Structure 1
Amino acid sequence: MMRTLLFWISVTVISARAAGQTTPPAGTPAATRGAKAATKTATTGAATPAATKTAPAAAAAKTAPTAGGATAKPAQAPAKPSPLGARLAQALKALRADPQMTHAIYGFYIKDSATGKAIWDENSQTGLAPASCQKVIVSTASLELLGEDFQYQTRIGYDGSIQNGVLRGNLYIIASGDPSLGSWRYAGSRPEEVMEAIHSILQASGITRIEGNLLLDDHTFPLQPVPRGWVWEDLGNYYGAGAQGLNWHENQYDLDLEPGDRVGDSVRIVAQRPALEGDTLLNELTTGPKGSGDQSNIYWAPLTKLGYVNGSIPADGKNITIAGSIPDPGRLFINALAENLKTWNIALDGSVQNSLDYTRAHRAFPVFATVMGSLPSPSLDSLVYWFLKKSINLYGEALARTLALQKTGTAATDTGVSVIRDFWIKRGVERTAFHIQDGSGLSPQNRVTAFGLVQVLEYARKRPWFRAFYDALPVIDGMTMKSGSIGGARAYAGYVGGKDGRKYTFAFIINNYDGNGTEIQHKMWKILDELK
């Protein structure tokens, strides 16, 4: 009997303590902290706000003696959730019941930007594939570690000597990994402007003839341009362009395509811009039904000379343009420069070669002696603007390698990823919150927590470069946020101001949803709209 009484006393005390817990269960608004555990829905097991659960009156009034003879206080009535918390709970309940979410998982974290108080916390510590929301992590670390005024420098140099306008030696282009060289987005970086800048440097040195070779030193970055974990079907498309020692035209070319009149007809390649001279693209495209959309895909491994494009484009009676990744941008650049030398009446007696030519021949690349000039990139804040605004994967991969080079002297992606992770660990992000493989978020192997993303966004608020970062974030559905999308994954992370005047920082990631990505996107927007 005594053992039974002690057991009853022990259980009652534990229950009373549990009723006053300070850590909320997953999926509860912050207003329910200290309340009873949330109920769970029968459909998914996801938590609902604690304020929706009520206890029988008799149980609420019941008290029990403690081991010391005193009586334990009755469990406190659950705190009523805020209006925002109640709206979010209702919206998320509908999302969990949606057929697209039957086997999906999501992480959602919202913070009051002024008070630091958590407004919603559900699976926020679960690592999920963030897609391009990972660019938030990389861009902020880059702004802090490199500085918003950082610039790449592509140098023009030579060995030997210049005598009476004749370069008795080799002319060098020394690449720096600049992802913007030849980009159409910036004044001064467009292909024709880059070539004219080189022309001006050669004119200033008085060179009219080169007795040696035209050499591209593009081994600033390792030869393998693609990070671990990238998918084969991505590599030939513009978003699958890896970062090379010399990047040109954002490593992107365009294909103008003309569909046939009937389903099954061949598709004609009207133009390739810029033309990949000496390379072969096999065309296996066919015409699809009207309204079927662009179902084409380009397959092309880096640094190879043969690729192919297959799939279909719709028979809608109009041409469309798709974009691919340039397999060897350094070669394309140096060949274009050689052609420009002819236009400028500068004779080249030797050949055109790059670092890969020397590697294949098992020869050491020669070392230049003198720098004649350099081609600076736009400042980092400008690069980050387009990196985030247009979600350019190439920029993220170049930044990861640049961070590695600047901090360790080795420009490997794995090293750059370690630099980024270490940076955030030192600033309070839990060590295992970021398992990242690349600088862009394209790898499906990346895992990031919603909680960690919000930590990054909150850190950025306090930095002197915040305005540059904030202005670079896209405005989507009336909210300033970065989006992310790869197969089966959608994510958003950013800032929003509510009608009540409060400002919120949030991250929302869904993985393994079923069906159409656009549909799940709009369902996420509907939930985020509750913050406005």
Structure 2
Amino acid sequence: MNKLLICLLIIHVQTSSAQTITTKLSSAIRQFEADDQVRHGIISLYVADAQTGKTVYEHNAHIGLAAASTQKLFTSAASFELLGSAYRYKTVLGYDGHIEHGILNGNLHLNGYGDPTLGSWRWGDTKEEVVLEKIMTALQKNNIKKISGDVLVNEGAFSIQPIPGGWIWDDIGNYYGAGCWAINWHENQYDLHLQAGKKEGDTTDIVKITPQGTTVHDLINHITTGKKGSGDNAYIYLSPYARDGFTQGTIPLGSQPYVISGAVPNAPMLFCYKLEKALNKQEISFNGRFKLFSRAMADNDSWPEMQKTIITLLSPSIDSINYWFLRKSINLYGEALIKTLAYEKTGRGTTEKGVELVRNFWSERGIDKGAINILDGSGLSPQNRVTAHAEVKVLQYARTRPWFNAFYNAMPEYNGMKMKSGSIGGARAFAGYHTAKDGKQYVFSIIVNNYEGSAGEIVKKMYRVLDLLK
């Protein structure tokens, strides 16, 4: 009898606790919705018990909203499952023809398969100088001192379209809107060094563009000097494959050059520039020229097959790439993963096919496709629509998988909670995990769309709701 009473008491306490948090969340959402900042907006919240999967609270949880970078959770988890945490990108150097007396009688080949870390500064093994040194060392070991043919750079594994549909003009020319090719370099990012004027409102001067070889020919600079401490409010407008563009906005008043980052308009060409410089430094001459596969196909030129591999460069593993993808929200990594899924499953890396594969993957695991209406792998497109309920389902699924620790550790921490954030115009979102003081574990997603006023203030109000889970 005593055991039965104890069990009933425990159930009563747990039920009361659940009812309490549900009541508190309901009250907090009502108060939030009455706030002037969301008078014309919408709030979505879904909270589940991490242990049982049962719903703790839901509000507009099945309405598709722009979730910005919290959408990365769908791409991340699907990539762990479909590619594997140990998956590594490869970039292959080889040749056709034969080597005799230090001369390659044929063409040097480099085939790319979408490695977004090639030339990245985030790992010691991927840095520009390290990658180029590996290539030069491989040529030396094969006694290649001269190339009689061309240097053939094959970026045909991915589509020629580097930008997903739905990305906006204000984003595309800037570093976070970098396109994705089968050959990427330096995270397809360059730095624009600007000198502010002597007072607010003055024009600014472009000091330099680094690194060299970005193919950016001319930027008409309309960036002016803002208030001291006003931060980066400057934008670069330059489309993929273009050489000329313009800038607008402001940078803060200051005596030192101020750096903003842009998206390289043609990453394969930047790589070609860097490889040519390395060959010249090593005094390896070639009679031909650099050729890109995409251009050759457009011109109906022949393209000989690589006959022998010299070296295969490998990227860090997916679990390592995913760390930066979620922790620093690198959009390029998401777009590379989406195209890689398509390439590995169909032989052709397109955003559209990759998105289809991700939606199918989650549909097979119980999430309606209508709850994941996405156009990209990173969440940058304002046309993306996902539900808070779907995000929680992904987070719950991840907890059951062998790669969960890598996934969880990659999640940033905000407001004392492990959660991914999302931010685009008029939209803020958070989704993640939290263990309350009483040991209760929660999985949650909160999305706010079409708010007015300060983004900082709307985040504070979202935190107040999430604080109830503590």
TM-score normalised by the shorter chain: which range applies?
A: over 0.9
Give the CA deviation at 1:93: 2.3
Counterpart residue number, 2:341: 403
Task: Trace 1:301-450 onto structure 2 (pairs within 5 A).
Answer: 301-450=239-388
Counterpart residue number, 2:67: 130
Give the CA deviation at 1:381: 0.4
Counterpart residue number, 2:118: 181
Asked if residue 158 in structure 1 is aligned to residue 104 in structure 2, the reply is no
Segment drifting more, 229-238 vs 263-272: 263-272
Segment drifting more, 428-437 vs 282-291: 282-291
Match of 1:114 among 34, 37, 51: 51
Counterpart residue number, 2:393: 455
The DSSP-based 3-state class of the residue aligned with 2:61 is coil
Give the CA deviation at 1:277: 5.4
Task: Trace 1:232-251 onto structure 2 (pairs within 5 A).
Answer: 232-251=169-188
Which digits, 9 at most, give the CA deviation of each residue in 1:44-66, with x for residues without a partner? xxxxxxxxxxxxxxxxxxxxxxx
In 2 relative to 1, CA 272–208 (structure 1 residues): closer, same or farther, beyond 3 Å? Answer: same
Give the CA deviation at 1:409: 1.7
Match of 2:189 among 249, 252, 256: 252
Segment drifting more, 410-419 vs 316-325: 316-325
Counterpart residue number, 1:58: none
Give the CA deviation at 1:164: 1.2
Runs of 4+ off more than 4 Å: none
CA–CA distance in 2 between the matches of 1:494 and 1:440? 17
Counterpart residue number, 1:228: 165
The number of aligned residues is: 456
Counterpart residue number, 1:205: 142
Counterpart residue number, 2:81: 144
Larger RCO of the pair (alpha carbons < 8 Å, separation 6+):
2
Counterpart residue number, 2:22: 85
In 2 relative to 1, CA 345–276 (structure 1 residues): closer, same or farther, beyond 3 Å? Answer: closer
Give the CA deviation at 1:357: 3.3
CA–CA distance in 1 between the matches of 2:388 and 2:440? 20
Which digits, 9 at most, give the CA deviation of each residue in 1:75-97, with x for residues without a partner? xxxx9973322332332222111
Counterpart residue number, 2:433: 495
Contact 1:130 1:447 in 2 (8 A): yes
CA–CA distance in 2 between the matches of 1:80 and 1:195? 60
Asked if residue 217 in structure 1 is aligned to residue 148 in structure 2, the reply is no
Give the CA deviation at 1:271: 2.9
Give the CA deviation at 1:366: 2.9
CA–CA distance in 2 between the matches of 1:410 and 1:155? 17
Which digits, 9 at most, give the CA deviation of each residue in 1:283-312, with x for residues without a partner? 221112334432210001101111221211
Give the CA deviation at 1:360: 4.6
CA–CA distance in 2 between the matches of 1:283 and 1:431? 44
Give the CA deviation at 1:363: 1.9
CA–CA distance in 1 between the matches of 2:297 and 2:97? 23
Letter in 2 for 1:121: E
TM-score by length of 2: 0.94
Task: Trace 1:287-306 onto structure 2 (pairs within 5 A).
Answer: 287-306=225-244
CA–CA distance in 2 between the matches of 1:469 and 1:512? 30
Contact 1:335 1:352 in 2 (8 A): no
CA–CA distance in 1 between the matches of 2:294 and 2:197? 40
In 2 relative to 1, CA 164–233 (structure 1 residues): closer, same or farther, beyond 3 Å? Answer: same
In 2 relative to 1, CA 272–289 (structure 1 residues): closer, same or farther, beyond 3 Å? Answer: same
Higher strand share: 2
CA–CA distance in 2 between the matches of 1:81 and 1:367? 64
Segment drifting more, 469-478 vs 349-358: 349-358
Give the CA deviation at 1:384: 0.4
Give the CA deviation at 1:479: 0.6
Q: Answer with 1 or 2: which has the greater Rg.
A: 1
Counterpart residue number, 1:16: none
Give the CA deviation at 1:321: 1.7
Contact 2:94 2:310 in 1 (8 A): yes
Contact 1:109 1:450 in 2 (8 A): yes
Letter in 2 for 1:112: D
The DSSP-based 3-state class of the residue aligned with 1:155 is strand
Match of 1:516 among 454, 457, 464: 454
Segment drifting more, 350-359 vs 142-151: 350-359
Counterpart residue number, 2:105: 168
Give the CA deviation at 1:452: 0.7
In 2 relative to 1, CA 97–293 (structure 1 residues): closer, same or farther, beyond 3 Å? Answer: same
In 2 relative to 1, CA 80–459 (structure 1 residues): closer, same or farther, beyond 3 Å? Answer: closer
Letter in 2 for 1:288: G
Asked if residue 531 in structure 1 is aligned to residue 469 in structure 2, the reply is yes
Give the CA deviation at 1:344: 1.0
Asked if residue 269 in structure 1 is aligned to residue 171 in structure 2, the reply is no
Q: Which runs of 5+ in 1 are unaligned?
A: 1-30, 35-78
Give the CA deviation at 1:343: 1.1
Q: Which runs of 5+ in 2 are unaligned?
A: 1-11
Segment drifting more, 517-526 vs 136-145: 517-526
